[in-house]
Amino acid sequence: MFWCDFINFFVVIFGFSAFAAQAGDGGVMAYLEESRVPLPFLIMLILQFFLILTDRALYLRKNLLGKLIFQFFLIFGVHSWMFFVLPYVTEREFSAVTPPKMWYFLKCVNLLLAAKQIRSGYPTRILGNCFTKRYGIANNYSFKAFMLVPFLFELRTLMDWVFTATTMSMSEWFKLEVIFGNIFELKCERTKEERYPHKSGEPRRQGLKYLLGGSRLLGIVAIIWFPLVLFALGNTVGMPNPPLQVEVTLKIESYEPFFRSLGTKFSTMR
């Protein structure tokens, strides 16, 4: 269910022109070059984000009645928007272009899984992070990537604390999550040592050092220099906006202005 909504984020971002009143306006890159964010685009993203938060809150509270009401609200809202509002705004059927069809398909899959969740019921206890079920290399790097996403760990931990019955304070809950993350990474390290043993005092193989260390070194260099390369080789993001007129006014508080400059022409008022 989460991945359906997550993919729909990118469908809206890169296919917003199909949801707008005028199709074929260049998409998100055109908006970046013009240094503007359309209000409908922002509303769609924020609404999608709050729907994910609401679903997560109902899951943490194990509120099946709230989930059922939320499900009917989504069914009515999605179909009203796709079959009535969107054709009225864009003056074409939503099936005429690909992004709305993709968004609608993923949302239907989400609703189908949500209906199965309502029928099966919420679990008796809330499980932890899905990346920490095993202690393999893939789980370790997936958890590290999860921790690197800005504010994602804080957002998830805050929601867990707010909507879960607990006697711990917010700071204690955060400490527990940090301790759990450190223990998980240590278990992953021990598992890797068992699968790929290495004798103490034995030098590391040069090929392995070039592969692991060299790839990370190139990644860091790319992160450092990628913005300059992007601006040097690609199109400049945003259009220049030089000042065309400057007005300077001098006055003493509660009195009329006694000096005013407009552009290169000056006038003095006494």
Give SS3 for 248.
strand
Interatomic CA distance for residues 93 and 90, integer angstroms: 8
- Reported as a single tens digit per residue, the pLDDT across 5-38 is 889 888 888 888 778 765 445 556 666 666 667 7
Residues 15 and 76 in one domain: yes
User: Last residue of some domain: 71, 87, 120?
Assistant: 120
Does residue 20 form part of some domain? Answer: yes
pLDDT at 267 over 50: no
Domain housing 87:
2-120
Does residue 35 form part of some domain? Answer: yes
pLDDT at 194 over 90: no
Interatomic CA distance for residues 256 and 95, integer angstroms: 63
Does residue 28 form part of some domain? Answer: yes
How high is the pLDDT of residue 166? Answer: 87
What pTM was computed for the model? Answer: 0.70
Does residue 206 form part of some domain? Answer: no
pLDDT at 68 over 90: yes
HSE value, Cβ hemisphere, 13 Å, CA-based, for 208: 5
Residues 134 and 99 in one domain: no
pLDDT at 206 over 80: yes
User: Last residue of some domain: 153, 181, 197?
Assistant: 197
Phi, psi of 131, rounded to the nearest 5 degrees: -80, -15
Does residue 221 form part of some domain? Answer: no
Residues 110 and 144 in one domain: no
Asked if 28 and 13 count as a contact pair (C-beta separation under 8 A), the reply is yes
Interatomic CA distance for residues 72 and 64, integer angstroms: 12
pLDDT at 81 over 50: yes
Cβ neighbours around 114 below 10 Å, total = 20
Q: Is 83 left (phi over 0), alpha (psi -120 to 50) or beta?
A: alpha
Residues 135 and 114 in one domain: no
pLDDT at 66 over 50: yes
Residues 64 and 98 in one domain: yes
pLDDT at 160 over 80: yes
Does residue 224 form part of some domain? Answer: no
- Among 8-22, 37-51, 111-125, 202-216, the range with the most confident prediction by mean pLDDT is 111-125
265-268 and 259-262: which strand pairing? antiparallel
Going 83 to 89 to 95 to 98, the CA torsion angle's sign is negative
Residues 113 and 147 in one domain: no
pLDDT at 269 over 60: no
User: Last residue of some domain: 146, 172, 197?
Assistant: 197
Stretch 116-137: mean pLDDT, rounded? Answer: 83
Stretch 104-117: mean pLDDT, rounded? Answer: 93
Does residue 222 form part of some domain? Answer: no
Interatomic CA distance for residues 224 and 146, integer angstroms: 21
How high is the pLDDT of residue 270? Answer: 41
Does residue 242 form part of some domain? Answer: no
How high is the pLDDT of residue 266? Answer: 45
How high is the pLDDT of residue 127? Answer: 65
How high is the pLDDT of residue 41? Answer: 79
How high is the pLDDT of residue 77? Answer: 92
**Total domains in the fold of the chain:** 2
How high is the pLDDT of residue 40? Answer: 79
How high is the pLDDT of residue 240? Answer: 64
DSSP string for 48-88: HHHHHHHHHHHHHHT-HHHHHHHHHHHHHHHHHIIIIIHHH
Asked if 110 and 11 count as a contact pair (C-beta separation under 8 A), the reply is no
Element holding 226 (H helix, E strand): helix 206-233
pLDDT band at 182 (very low <50, low <70, confident <90, very high): very high
Average pLDDT, the chain: 83
Stretch 51-67: mean pLDDT, rounded? Answer: 90
